[in-house]
Amino acid sequence: MSWSHQQNDQPYDQNNQAYYQNDHSHYQNDQSYYQNDPAYDQSSQAYYQNDQAYDQNNQVYYQNYQASYQNDQSHYQNDQSYDQIDQSYDQNNQAYQQDASKTELYLRIYIFRGEPDCSFNRHVIAEFQSVDDPSFYQSIHVKRLNKESPWRIEVVNGQAEWVLTKRYIGHCDGGYLWVNKGEETRPVEIMTRVEVTNRSEVGGWNCQHFLFEGFQKLVDEGIGDQEWYYKLERTLVDCTFDGAIG
C-alpha cells in the first residue's frame, strides 16, 4: 500500500472509531433506560392501583352520600309532619289561651301492681290537676272489697300521695284538657256517670274499663277529641302491660 492510501485510510479509521464510541454510548444509554424502565413500570402499576382504590373510595363515598341524603330527606319529611302536628296543636292552644274563660287541666294516670301482677289486674287511678291553680287536684277510680262485691266509684279531692302507696309502680301522661274556668271538677263529675251497677256480673270488667268509658264520656261532652282518646287508650294499654307477667 502506498503512503498516499495510508493517509486516506487514517481519517476513515478515525471516523469509524468515533462512530463506535457513539454507538457504545447509545448502548449504555439504552441499558440505563432499560434498567429504569422496570422501575417506571412498577411506579405506573402502583399509581394505577392507587387510582383504582381512589375510584372505589369515591364510589363508596358517593353511595354513602346518597344514603345520607335519602335519610335526610326522610327525616325532613318526618320533621315537617311533626311540625304540622305541633303547629296545629299550638294553634289550638293559642285559641284557648286567648279565651280568658278557659282553663287547662293536666291528666295523669297512676298504675298499681295487681295480684297476680297481670296487666288486666293492675289498678289505675285518674288524676286531674289544674295548670292555673296548683292547689287543685281531683282523682277518680272504682274499687271493690272482693270479686263478689259490687264496684263503687271513689272521688278524692285534693292532692293524694299515690306515689307513696305500697303497690304504686308508675304513671303515664294523659295530656291536657281545656274546661271553662270554675268548672275544673266537671271532668270527674262526667266520669261519675259511668254505670257501675251490676258490673261485677260482667266477666273481665274492671277499673281500667271504667277509665276508658269515662274518657269516652269526656269526648262525648266536648272535653278532648276522639284522636286524644285513641292516643290515651294506646298509652294506657302500653303502661299496664309494661313489666307485667302476662
Q: Residue 55: which pLDDT band, with cuts at 50, 70 and 90?
A: low
Q: Residue 45: which pLDDT band, with cuts at 50, 70 and 90?
A: low
Under DSSP, the state recorded for 148 is S
pLDDT at 145 over 50: yes
Model pLDDT, residue 117: 84
Q: Residue 94: which pLDDT band, with cuts at 50, 70 and 90?
A: low
The percentage of the chain sitting over the pLDDT mark of 90, rounded to a whole number, equals 48
pLDDT at 102 over 70: yes
Model pLDDT, residue 82: 47
- Which is higher by pLDDT, 200 or 219? 219
d(CA 37, CA 30): 10
Which of the given ranges, 36-45, 54-63, 217-226, has the highest pLDDT on average?
217-226
pLDDT at 122 over 80: yes
pLDDT at 40 over 50: no
pLDDT at 5 over 70: no
pLDDT at 10 over 80: no
Q: Which three cell numbers stand for residue 222?
A: 266536648
pLDDT at 58 over 80: no
SS (HEC) of 58-104: HHHHHHHHHHHHHHHHHHHHHHHHHHHHHHHHHHHHHHHHHCCCEEE
The CA-atom distances, in angstroms, between 200 and each of 143, 147, 196, 197 are 11, 7, 8, 8
Model pLDDT, residue 159: 96
d(CA 200, CA 150): 6
